[in-house]
């Protein structure tokens, strides 16, 4: 993190969160230009700046690293530019279903958001310049979210927006496909820091066919019908489910659930995928409308509670925009109650809650997919369900050579599907020369991988969902975040210009800058209760006008 003021460049430093806030407030009071970057949620960050001189620009510059995971020969980058307002669940307790974890009282974690349809002419706009070097030729390069211009120089590509700026009302998505697939079956990226070896492995088991014998599946389809899913989002979600139902085979079993502030299920238990049942389910899904709150915990609890049959591969497909604020409670429930089910999440809309959906799929040993373009619903759902019907490997386990001591994440490895690599992060005492991957493919399967020389390049928080005490997790996370200069729930970036630009007794003008609403987000009978507030405000205004009129009369 850097703060730029004219020609001056101040490099931010990482501090414990309370200490960083204290430094910022002191600098603010003393008239010094200062900036603070804090984590409000796992994927929501705020930047505060103070003592901006009249006529001067202050620029806060952030750098971050993101891991892009291959899907066959395809890669995708999503750059968040706004967010859907988060629903704050109500703390309702059912005697038979007590909450797994307390609902946290965190009002408006996303900060202020402008009303629907409001788009200031001169602010809330962005410029984008992307330089892409994929390391090998590309078969295709496109953005489903924005109109772009492309310029190629060999294997390097420069991507710009077709217009100079665009409103920040949707995430920027860039998709590209490699020619001939990934260049290597095994990649390892490693770095030694203070005597500790950290590595990231990407394993692509080669020449593995999908399982020849199709295993019967139990498919549980869950659709979000809350108010934030109104308009185009609910149409995409309905189309996705109708398509998924049509792909089920007679030997499969299924059920469909929908949820808003309440939830319901089509059947009380799993049903065979007969033509009659499929037609009934498709008609039921086709009638669903978006309205109400977003209570995810109760429907997830029920979706994961159906008695499992070991003769079936259970897959839960969860379609939502993820617009809730109780992510920690949801992840804790998945961690505790997933059993042998695999959870696959599908993000819908221009700005889904990708952190929640990606982490939920990781804990559920599944995969996360997102659909940004309504014209791609059928194609992307087809790709997803073709994979889900025939996994390549299940019940994976990593074996390291004797003498290698390692912590790895994820702790429980997901199933492997055609064209998708296995990504494993490790902390080791030394780098092994090989490792062995075990799994099931009809019967027992294993493959030994010889590791290439590591390519040097300059998951503690998951323990919270496993029920660990937050203070114990904090004591582990804090020294790691400080050592590696990482923004986290317990650390913040702060930058201070030592030269005061404002007398301490001179008043400051402050303003909170709101985000734009996503272009596809509506406020029907909304999950946020805003409609009720607007109606109440209107009634109060009318009452005040009537009282004033009677008084004047």
The candidate with the shortest Cα–Cα distance to 185, out of 387, 443, 435, is 435
Q: What is the pLDDT of residue 528?
A: 45
Query: 209 Cβ partners below 8 Å, 6+ apart?
Result: 392
Cis peptide leading into residue 410 (ω within 30°): yes
Q: What is the mean pLDDT of residues 301-314?
A: 89
Lowest mean pLDDT among 131-135, 174-178, 415-419, 502-506: 415-419
| The predicted structure's pLDDT at residue 102 | 32
Q: What is the pLDDT of residue 351?
A: 86
Q: How far apart are CA 319 and CA 239, in angstroms?
A: 11
**Residue 128 and residue 356 in contact, taking contact as beta carbons nearer than 8 Å:** no
Distance (Å, rounded) from C-alpha 361 to C-alpha 69? Answer: 14
- Give all strands (DSSP E) within 97-252, no chain letters: 125-126, 129-133, 138-142, 148-153, 156-161, 166-167, 172-178, 186-193, 196-203, 217-224
Q: Using pLDDT thresholds of 50, 70 and 90, give the confidence band for residue 103.
A: very low
In which element (H, E) is residue 27 found?
A: helix 17-29
CB–CB of 193/484 below 8 Å?
yes
What is the structure's pLDDT at 526? 44
Cβ atoms within 10 Å, residue 302: 18
pLDDT at position 136, please?
Answer: 82
| Reported confidence tier of residue 16, pLDDT bands at 50, 70, 90 | very high
Q: How many residues does the chain have?
A: 553
Give the closest residue to 195 by CA, choosing from 389, 375, 429, 16: 429
Greater confidence, 323 or 183?
323
Per-residue three-class SS string for 333-373: HHHHHCCCCEEEEEEECCCCCHHHHHHHHHHCCCCEEEECC
pLDDT of residue 334: 92
Higher pLDDT, 544 or 416: 416
Question: Contacts for 505-510 with beta carbons within 8 Å, 24 or more apart?
Answer: 506/31, 508/28, 508/50, 508/51
Q: Which residue has the higher pLDDT, 133 or 452?
A: 133
Residue 144 CA to residue 324 CA, distance in Å, equals 25
For 126-143, what is the mean pLDDT?
Answer: 91
Antiparallel, parallel or unpaired: β 196-203 and 186-193: antiparallel
126: pLDDT strictly greater than 60: yes
Query: Average per-residue pLDDT in the chain?
Result: 83
Residue-range domain boundaries for the chain: 1-64+469-512, 217-389
Residue 97 has pLDDT above 50, yes or no: no
- Beta-carbon neighbour count of residue 404 at 10 Å? 15
Question: What is the longest distance spanned by two Cα atoms in the chain?
Answer: 93
Per-state percent for the chain, helix, strand, coil, to nearest 5? 25, 35, 45
DSSP H/E element including 385: helix 377-389
Tokens of 521: 């987000």
Q: What is the mean pLDDT of residues 172-189?
A: 78
The answer, as to whether pTM is greater than 0.75, is: yes
State pLDDT tens for residues 336-371: 888 888 999 998 888 888 899 999 998 898 889 888
Torsional sign, CA 358, 363, 364, 365? positive
545 — phi, psi (to 5°)? -65, -40
| Position 534 pLDDT exceeds 60 | no
Which residue blocks in 255-353 are alpha helix, DSSP H? 275-286, 296-303, 327-337
Indicate the helix (H) or strand (E) that contains 16.
strand 13-16
pLDDT per residue as tens digits for the range 417-429: 877 788 888 888 8
Mean per-residue pLDDT, 157-175: 94
Question: What pLDDT, on a 0 to 100 scale, did the predictor assign at position 139?
Answer: 92
CATH superfamily assigned to domain 217-389: von Willebrand factor, type A domain (3.40.50.410)
Closest Cα to residue 335, out of 439, 464, 422?
Answer: 464
CA quadruple 480, 482, 485, 488: dihedral positive or negative? positive
Least confident of 90-104, 134-148, 212-226: 90-104
Under 8 Å CB-to-CB from 53, ≥6 apart: which residues? 5, 33, 501, 502
Decide if pLDDT at 281 tops 80. Answer: yes
User: How many other C-beta atoms lie within 10 A of the C-beta of residue 130?
Assistant: 17
């Amino acid at each position: 993190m850097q703060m730029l003021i004219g020609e001056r460049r101040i490099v931010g430093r990482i501090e414990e969160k309370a200490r960083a806030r204290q430094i910022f407030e002191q600098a603010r009071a003393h008239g010094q230009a200062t900036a603070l970057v804090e984590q409000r949620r796992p994927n929501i960050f705020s930047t505060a700046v103070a003592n901006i001189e009249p006529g001067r620009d202050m620029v806060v510059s952030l750098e971050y690293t993101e891991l892009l995971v291959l899907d066959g020969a395809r890669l995708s980058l999503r750059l968040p530019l706004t967010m859907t307002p988060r629903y704050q669940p109500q703390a309702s307790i059912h005697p038979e279903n007590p909450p797994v974890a307390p609902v946290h009282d965190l009002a408006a974690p996303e900060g202020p958001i402008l009303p629907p349809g409001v788009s200031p002419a001169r602010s809330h706009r962005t410029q984008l310049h992307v330089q892409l070097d994929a390391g090998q030729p590309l078969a295709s390069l496109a953005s489903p979210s924005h109109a772009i211009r492309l310029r190629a120089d060999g294997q390097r590509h420069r991507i710009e927006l077709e217009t100079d700026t665009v409103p920040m009302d949707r995430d920027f998505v860039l998709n590209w496909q490699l020619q001939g697939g990934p260049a290597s079956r095994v990649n390892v990226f490693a770095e030694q820091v203070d005597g500790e070896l950290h590595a990231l492995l990407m394993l692509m088991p080669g020449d593995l066919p999908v399982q020849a014998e199709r295993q019967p599946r139990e498919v549980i389809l869950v659709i979000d019908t809350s108010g934030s899913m109104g308009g185009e989002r609910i149409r995409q979600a309905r189309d996705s489910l109708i398509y998924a139902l049509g792909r089920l085979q007679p030997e499969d079993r299924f059920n469909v659930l929908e949820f808003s502030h309440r939830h319901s299920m089509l059947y009380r238990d799993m049903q065979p995928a007969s033509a009659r049942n499929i037609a009934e389910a498709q008609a039921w899904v086709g009638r669903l409308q978006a309205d109400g709150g977003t209570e995810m915990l109760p429907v997830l609890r029920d979706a994961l509670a159906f008695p499992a049959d070991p003769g079936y591969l259970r897959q839960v497909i969860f379609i939502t925009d993820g617009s809730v604020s109780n992510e920690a409670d949801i992840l804790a429930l998945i961690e505790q109650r997933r059993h042998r089910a695999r959870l696959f999440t599908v993000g819908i809309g221009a700005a889904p809650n990708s952190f929640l959906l990606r982490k939920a799929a990781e804990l559920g040993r599944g995969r996360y997919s997102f659909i940004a373009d309504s014209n791609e619903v059928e194609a992307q759902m087809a790709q997803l369900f073709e994979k889900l019907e025939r996994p390549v490997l299940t019940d994976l386990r990593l074996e390291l050579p004797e003498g290698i001591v390692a912590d790895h994440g994820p702790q429980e490895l997901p199933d492997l599907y055609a064209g998708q690599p296995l990504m494993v992060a490790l902390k080791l005492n030394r780098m092994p020369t090989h490792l062995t991957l075990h799994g099931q493919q009809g019967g027992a399967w294993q493959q030994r991988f010889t590791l290439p020389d590591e390519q040097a390049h300059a998951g503690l928080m998951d323990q919270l969902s496993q029920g660990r005490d937050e203070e114990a997790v904090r004591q582990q996370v804090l020294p790691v975040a400080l050592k590696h200069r990482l923004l986290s729930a317990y650390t913040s970036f702060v930058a201070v210009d030592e030269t005061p630009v404002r007398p301490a007794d001179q008043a400051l003008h402050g303003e909170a800058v709101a985000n734009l609403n996503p272009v596809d987000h509506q406020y029907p009978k909304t999950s946020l209760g805003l409609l009720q507030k607007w109606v109440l405000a209107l009634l109060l205004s009318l009452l005040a006008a009537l009282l004033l009129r009677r008084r004047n009369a």
